[in-house]
Amino acid sequence: NWSPLFTGEKVTFICDLKEGNNTDWNYAFNRNGHWLTNSIPENRFTSPSLTTGDSGEYQCVAFQKIRPNVIRESNKVSLSVSEKPKAQLRKDSPVAGSVTLTCSVGSSSSSRSSSSSSGWKYFWYKDKKTSEPLKTGDDVLLQSGSISPSGGGVYWCRGGRGDPVYYTEYSHPVVTNRAVVKPNWPEIYSGETITLTCGIEEGGGSEWEYEWRTPDYYTPPNPRGSMMTSSVRGDYSCKGRLKDGGSTTEWSDAFTVKTSAKPKAQLRKYSPVEGRL
The residues spanned by each domain of the chain are 5-82, 88-175, 179-260
State the pLDDT at residue 7. Answer: 95
Please enumerate, as own/partner, the contacts of 168-172 that have beta carbons within 8 Å and a separation of 24 or more. 168/6, 168/84, 168/85, 168/86, 168/87, 168/105, 168/120, 169/84, 169/85, 169/86, 169/87, 170/86, 170/87, 170/125, 170/129, 171/86, 171/87, 171/88, 171/89, 171/103, 172/89, 172/245, 172/246, 172/247
176 and 91 Cβ atoms separated by less than 8 Å = yes
Q: Going by CATH, does the domain composed of 5-82 fall within 3.30.470.20?
A: no
pLDDT at 192: 87
pLDDT (tens digit, 0 to 9) for every residue of the chain, 277 residues total?
677 899 999 999 999 887 778 788 999 999 999 999 998 999 999 999 999 999 999 999 999 999 988 999 999 999 999 999 999 999 887 666 678 899 999 754 444 444 456 789 899 998 877 778 887 655 555 567 888 887 788 899 999 998 889 999 999 999 988 899 988 777 788 888 889 999 888 766 678 889 899 988 777 766 678 898 888 889 999 999 888 767 888 889 999 988 888 888 999 887 777 766 6
User: How many CA atoms are closer than 13 Å to the CA of 144, on its beta-carbon side?
Assistant: 15
Q: What pLDDT does residue 143 have? A: 61
**Predicted TM-score of the model (pTM):** 0.74
Q: For residue 74, what is the DSSP state?
A: P
CB atoms within 10 A of CB 17: 16
Query: Cα torsion at 91, 92, 96, 98 (round to 10°)?
Result: -50
Count of positions (residues) in the chain: 277
Q: Compute the distance between CA of residue 59 and CA of residue 33 in angstroms, rounded to an integer.
A: 8
Indicate if the alpha-carbon torsion angle 203, 207, 209, 215 is positive or negative: positive
| Phi, psi (deg, nearest 5) at residue 53 | -70, -5
Query: Same CATH fold, 179-260 and 88-175?
Result: yes
CA gap 73, 61 in Å, rounded? 5
Please compute Rg for the chain using Cα positions.
33
The CATH homologous superfamily for domain 179-260 is Immunoglobulins (2.60.40.10)
Report the SS3 class of residue 111.
helix
CB under 8 A, 24+ apart: contacts of 262-268? 262/189, 262/190, 262/191, 263/189
What is the distance between the alpha carbons of residues 155 and 91, in angstroms, rounded to a whole number? Answer: 10
Question: How many whole angstroms separate alpha carbon 168 and alpha carbon 6?
Answer: 9
Can you tell me the distance from the alpha carbon of 154 to that of 49, in angstroms, rounded to the nearest whole number?
33
Q: Are 26 and 39 in contact (CB under 8 A)?
A: yes
At 110 the pLDDT is: 43
Q: Would you state the pLDDT for residue 205?
A: 66
Strands 25-31 and 56-64: antiparallel
Candidates 3.30.70, 3.40.50, 2.60.40, 2.60.60; CATH matching 88-175: 2.60.40
Residues 6+ apart with CB under 8 A from 9: 49, 50, 162, 166
